[in-house]
Amino acid sequence: MTDPTDGPGGVPGLSAATAEGGGLALEAVPHPSGPVALHAVGDVDLATAPFLAEQVGAWFAAAPRIVLDLSAVGFLGSAGIAALLDCHRDAAAAGVVLELYCGAARQVRRVLQVTGTCEHLRVLDPHPPPEGPGGHAPLFPVPD
């Protein structure tokens, strides 16, 4: 991934970047209002959890709010849960709000629910979203 502080014109957090590690890819998409959406694709397991934690942590200095989109994660193992808890703790220590979005990834949401992890993390959609146009709600809703 590129340095999250190297945005267009030197503005921190305004460039999109993609990184891959093992069976996991992360795409960072900064939002003009400040938050960064990190879209994870692949599996979060023993091999990829350290990569996830490293990449999420790299954005702490660049964004006041990070939304980790897990909607394209096919598998979330115990090492992934530990990495998410570590990221949440480190984000809080850095003054950053870290939120998770599961979207259509029922298997990820279910793991977070069954393990009780939902109670310790900020999960934007702890319950399945209502069916609607497109099947999901936007990460950053536009006010009316």
Tokens matching residue 117: 């992890």
**Most trustworthy range by pLDDT among 4-13, 31-40, 90-99, 120-129:** 90-99
Q: What do you get for the CA distance between the two ends of the chain, in Å? A: 35
- Residue 51 falls inside a structural domain: yes
Q: What CATH number does the domain containing 72 carry?
A: 3.30.750.24
Residue 138, pLDDT > 60, answer no
Q: What single DSSP character describes residue 14?
A: -
Q: Which residue has the higher pLDDT, 31 or 12?
A: 31
pLDDT digits (tens, 9 = 90+) for 40-53: 999 999 999 999 99
pLDDT tens profile 80-115: 999 999 999 999 999 999 999 998 888 999 999 999
- Domain residues for the domain of 95 are 28-128
Q: Let me know if residue 6 belongs to a domain.
A: no
Q: How much of the chain is helix, strand and coil, in % rounded to 5?
A: 30, 30, 40
Q: Domain total for the chain?
A: 1
